[in-house]
Amino acid sequence: MRAHYRAEGLDEHDLTPHPMGQFARWFRQAARAAVQGMVYEPNAMVVSTADAEGRPSSRTVLLKQYDEQGFVFYTNYESRKALELSGNPYVSLLFPWHPMARQVIVSGTARRTGRDETAAYFRTRPHGSQLGAWASSQSSVISSRTELEASYAELAARYPEGEQVPVPPNWGGFRVAPQAVEFWQGRENRLHDRLRYVAEPDGGWRVERLSP
């Protein structure tokens, strides 16, 4: 079960000066591939955190925004990942664009987004997703699916379609500020291209090539 990659390579001279610029370039290409049916949910990323004892956990989360400041996702602040980030802000993100033989691996630190930014994003969510944010006590143990659906039904009756749903107080975003960003391009004979941006103390970025 080994794929033989023959994709075009990645050269240092082709990179943008800032890793978020390079990410934007690759993300646009992944989004085009999604339109063509090659990539499913290009904004899906694996978020890995660790608890106070260093035990890791991973889950797939949707990227909702990116800019020069980093990558933004939203969650319940009482979820496992949020609680782990409150004690250990170091986080890893992985974008697995397998059909393109590409990966982007991010190492950085997470901090909460402001409430105004959170509220602005919450207003863009579909009505059902807004209710779902209230109905789910993410990562907590529940007795049954029926309990979850009953909570949702109660909220749907309280806030029918067209009525504004308030932002849950324990729900919001995290912005991951990158400290290192690796762009991985699969190549023939397992001689993959791995180019990594590393943050410098002066605010600049150093690019280094890693052996595959």
Note the pLDDT tens digit of each residue in 11-22.
999 999 999 999
Share of the chain above pLDDT 70, in %: 97
The structure tokens 């009756």 sit at 157
Higher pLDDT, 203 or 139: 203
pLDDT of residue 154: 92
pLDDT of residue 50: 98
Share of the chain above pLDDT 90, in %: 88
User: Where does the pLDDT of residue 3 fall: very low under 50, low under 70, confident under 90, or very high at 90 and above?
Assistant: low
pTM of the model: 0.91
pLDDT of residue 87: 95
Phi and psi, residue 35, nearest 5°: -60, -35
Please give the radius of gyration of the chain, using alpha carbons only, rounded to the nearest integer.
19
- Render pLDDT for 141-150 as a digit per residue (tens, 0 to 9): 889 999 999 9
pLDDT of residue 2: 64
HEC letters along 26-60: HHHHHHHHHHCCCCCCCCEEEEEEECCCCCEEEEE
Tell me the average pLDDT across 157-182: 95
28 annotated active-site: no
Of 190, 194, 196, 206, catalytic: 190
| Average pLDDT of the residues of the chain | 94
